Structure 1
Amino acid sequence: MKHKVLMSFVLIILLVPLTGCWNRRELNELAIAVAMGIDKSGEQYQVSAQIVNPGEIVTQKGGGTNSPIVTLTSTGDSMMEAVRKMTIKSPRKIYFAHLRLFVIGEELAREEGIAKTLDLISRDPEFRTDFFIIVAKETTAEQVLKIFSIPLEKIPANKMFESLETSQKVWAVTATQTLDELISDLVAAGTNPLLTGVEVTGDPARGEKRENIQKTSPQAILKINGMAAFYKDKLVGWLNEDESKGANFINDKVKSTVVTVQCPKKGNISVELIRSKTKVSGKVVNGRPEVDVTVRTEANVAEVQCGEVDLSKTQTIYDLETKTEQAIQSDIEAALNKAQKDYKSDIFGFGEAIHKADPAYWKKAKKDWKKEFVNLQANIKVDVKIRRIGTLSKSFLNELKE
């Protein structure tokens, strides 16, 4: 009897690992999507998927004759219906576990909002949450996914994913927003979302052809341009480059960037910010909400176009730090003005700061926070410390003869 019980136990143990393959998927049965787009087509949703052609990706010599990617589109009353209808055009099931990019058309974002479109990708376990979400500026998500944009990358979605990461790290006019971060901003009472915008420049029709990336000057490219400001889940407007950088300073998303200031006479000095930290604290003064925005940065002198500037002098460094602080503050004020006066949307999370500082006040103010935000006083302080001036204290330009 004991022997039978032992054997039964051993068999059960051996069978457990075998159940791990019940939902296996063979690669040759899947169409791997690296990007997904959503637009509105009348009363229906139009879903686009950028599918990888594995045979062309692994081609080592001479290059294949087929496209490394194909973009499929389908419409339906819901996103799930549209996705399933894609099988009419594809012999394989569309597989979204390797998604890198989710693109939302501007028309959909403005008119209907983005909340409904996020339900499927947040509910379906096949979707991971580490892909970036962007808005197609003045175009459709489908058009963005069809463009072959740059010769350095066979898969456009991968190129855009890497461009977003790089731009945020070194230029600070974009913000890489994942699904979890976006949903958190949508459901929070004291903040509204900011998403990076991408536009098609040039001839879109030529950009859809593979020959576009075989030229030294492509006929059409994808360009990151501005940030989309939302009120709740609807797009209300765009921030330009300076305003986007200012918003990123407030939101503590600046890792590195370049600030250009004018020389005393002629030319410019480029200051490279190497570190930046922003602290936002809320308070209630005489019954009115206020926020203190403190930005502290460290920088190096990267380029000097004026020969008369002597960086070995303490006063010169002080003046340069002051001008850099003023330039950063100008960007921050531009972002604040656009958000408060034009869009009336708290894209900085100031409401959350007030909530932390004074929960009792926030309980009363949160229902009408839009009105409170418009009149909110923001006290901005920027502190820049220049650490290095490079190998030259004086530019050789002053030694050049006229």
Structure 2
Amino acid sequence: MKWMKPLLPIAFLSTILMGCWDKLELEEQAYTVVLGLDKAGDGLVKVTFQIANPQVGSSDTGSAPNEPSSDTISFTTPDILSAKEMANAVVTRKISFAHLRTLVVCQEFAKDALFHRILSTSMRDPEMRREVHLIVSKENASEFIHKNKPKLETRPHKYFAFMQERWRDTGLVPYSTLNRYFTRLTEDTLFLSILATTEKNNQKPKKNEDDYLAGNFPQESGDPTQLIGSAVFKGGRMIGMLTGEETRYVLLLRHRSLAHSFISTLPDPVDDRYQVSVRMIKSGNTKVKVDVTKEPAAIQVTVPLRLQLLSIPSFVNYALDTQKQELLTESIQQELNKDMMELVKKCQREFKGDPFLWNLSARHEFWTREQFEAYDWSKQFPKADVKIQFDMKLESFGKQIDSPQVEVGAGSE
């Protein structure tokens, strides 16, 4: 055993030094926080890198007071990984995807079959994580990234992180990560991605404040980027779009959804000149029952909702009148049922796919996977007989039971 004693210091030093051979300092790396993909033709893709400056917005800002928060460069190459390698012909630091959280693809390229090939092969890179959020822009992704100049966020990645988290509060955009994209590539389901643009085509304001696509929401100032609505994918290709309102309804009709509440305006049944503002809270999982023994298949959907009445511009006293409460509840049910059924028919006729994930409930009706695959949900869903009902309860009228009323034109002389 004496011969081992000289080797002990070497073994001890090796445990301390091991793993440091490929260490890179912070200033030696270029962190890509946003990646853009555009169609370039001839089987090529235009890849745009938005590289963050780690010194801007940090405690080290004093050493780089005049440097920009990020740098944006574009290359046309056969795929993403070759573009990552070629970027070092311009960027002196090593390109890293370790902090990549946002992938922007232009609408034109998302409709091309090449998009899925480029995206799926890039996942071979260990730095391409499935938690990356997928955004579809109406304009070129490079143009979108260049024009996106948020006024309140110094670091570019923070803007997208905060905006993407707002889907939990509003439901105006879906939760769209690469992981969800790859798990919903089959013909049975539709994948919904965030829809965004910096191009404005403001429409006339609507009574339904959420019934817009990105770029159509009437906006007069502020950040140029709008994120509202969703891009619909089937089999790895974009086939259509849904408005913010339709995106909300998709989330409500799913058995389980991460967005549980949002505020919406609906017609006042007592005075149709006004809208009432209601917070809709999904109080449990949506019940989906699929009867595959019938032809066509029968789908019964029950959505549990709790309503909180927030604003009543008509001054109708709903809080103390139970008959008017029943009238309001029935009116909301009819309005939601009408809009949701229109959405279901749109998905059946136009998209011929299921964004509601009802295929998961249909699977439980079969003993084996082979039986379900033979049933072919992609062909059964477009002709299915769908019925929607609500387990609805009006539970709150705000802090103030009644609103102070005055006659129009009244006042001191």
Aligned partners of 2:290 and 2:297 also within 8 Å:
yes
Of the structure 1 ranges 63-72 and 376-385, higher mean CA displacement relative to structure 2 is found in 63-72
Q: Please report how far the alpha carbon of residue 296 of structure 1 lies from its aligned counterpart in structure 2 after TM superposition.
A: 0.7
Task: State how 1:239-388 maps to structure 2 within 5 Å.
Answer: 239-251=242-254, 252-253=256-257, 254-263=259-268, 264-265=270-271, 266-276=273-283, 277-359=285-367, 361-366=371-376, 369-388=377-396
Task: Find the aligned partners of 2:221 and 2:292 in 1 and give their Cα distance.
Answer: 55
Does the 8 Å CA contact 1:134/1:196 hold for their aligned counterparts?
yes
With over 3 angstroms needed to count, the CA separation of the structure-2 counterparts of 1:285 and 1:393, relative to structure 1, is farther
Q: Call closer, same or farther: CA 1:234–1:145 in 2, change over 3 Å.
A: same
In terms of fraction of residues, the more helix-rich structure is 1
Residues 7 and 305 of structure 1: is their aligned pair in 2 closer, same or farther, counting only changes over 3 Å? farther
Deviates more, 1:222-231 or 1:51-60: 51-60
CA offsets 1:57-103 (integer angstroms, 9 cap, x no match): 33768x94443111111111122112211112211121111112111
Quick check: 1:230–1:347 contact (8 Å CA) kept in 2? no
> Aligned residues: percent identity?
24
Which residue number in structure 2 is paired with residue 99 of structure 1? Answer: 100
Tell me the SS of whatever aligns to 2:110. Answer: helix
Unaligned ranges ≥5, structure 1: 204-215
1:230 counterpart (217, 224, 233): 233
Task: Name the structure 2 match of 1:194.
Answer: 192
Give the C-alpha shift of residue 349 in structure 1. 2.2
Q: Name the SS for the 1:45 alignment partner.
A: strand
Distance, in Å, in 2 between the alignment partners of 1:19 and 1:324 is 65
Quote the Cα distance in structure 2 between the aligned partners of 1:4 and 1:195. Answer: 65
CA spacing shift, 1:95–1:37, aligned 2, 3 Å: same
386, 390, 399: which one pairs with 1:391?
A: 399
Equivalent residues of 1:115, 1:233 under 8 A apart: yes
For residue 161 of structure 1, give the secondary structure of its aligned residue in structure 2: helix
Take 1:179 and 1:364, find their aligned partners in 2: how far apart are those partners? 28
Matched residue, 2:90: 89
Cα separation, 1, equivalents of 2:8 and 2:291: 64
SS in structure 1 at match of 2:19:
helix
What is the identity, as a one-letter code, of the residue corresponding to 2:345? N
Shift of residue 341, structure 1, vs aligned partner: 1.0
1:401 deviates by 6.7
- Secondary structure in structure 2 of the residue aligned to 1:345: coil
Contact kept in structure 1, 2:81 and 2:125, CA below 8 Å: no
SS in 1 for 2:130: coil
Q: Matched residue of 1:191: which SS?
A: coil
Q: Secondary structure at the match of 1:357?
A: coil
**Aligned residue in 2 for 1:148:** 148
* 1:218-276 deviation line (CA, Å, top 9, x unaligned): 5x711113211112111111112222221121234332111322221232211112344
- Using the alignment, how far apart are the partners of 2:346 and 2:24 within structure 1? 49
Offset of residue 14 of structure 1: 4.8
Deviation (angstroms), 1:189: 5.4
TM-score by length of structure 2 reads 0.84
Q: 1:56 to 1:288 in 2, by over 3 A?
A: same
In the superposition, the TM-score normalised over structure 1's length comes to: 0.86
1:49 is aligned to 49
Q: Distance in 2 between matches of 1:147 and 1:81?
A: 25
| Distance in structure 1 (CA, Å) of the matches to 2:221 and 2:187 | 46
Partner of 2:208: none
Whether the 8 Å contact between 1:305 and 1:397 is mirrored in structure 2 is: no
Structure 2: which 5+ runs fail to align? Answer: 202-219
Alpha-carbon distance in structure 2 between the residues aligned to 1:65 and 1:201: 29
Partner SS state of residue 182, structure 1: helix
- The answer to whether the 8 A contact 1:300-1:386 is kept is yes
Output aligned runs, 1:5-44, within 5 Å.
5=4, 8=7, 11-12=10-11, 14-43=13-42, 44=44
Give the Cα–Cα distance (whole angstroms) in 1 for the partners of residues 128 and 57 of structure 2.
23
Q: Which residue of 1 aligns with 2:211?
A: none
Question: Displacement, 1:398?
Answer: 5.8
Determine if contact 1:36/1:50 at 8 Å carries over to the other structure: yes
Residues 65 and 338 (structure 1 numbering): CA distance in 2 closer, same or farther, change over 3 Å? farther
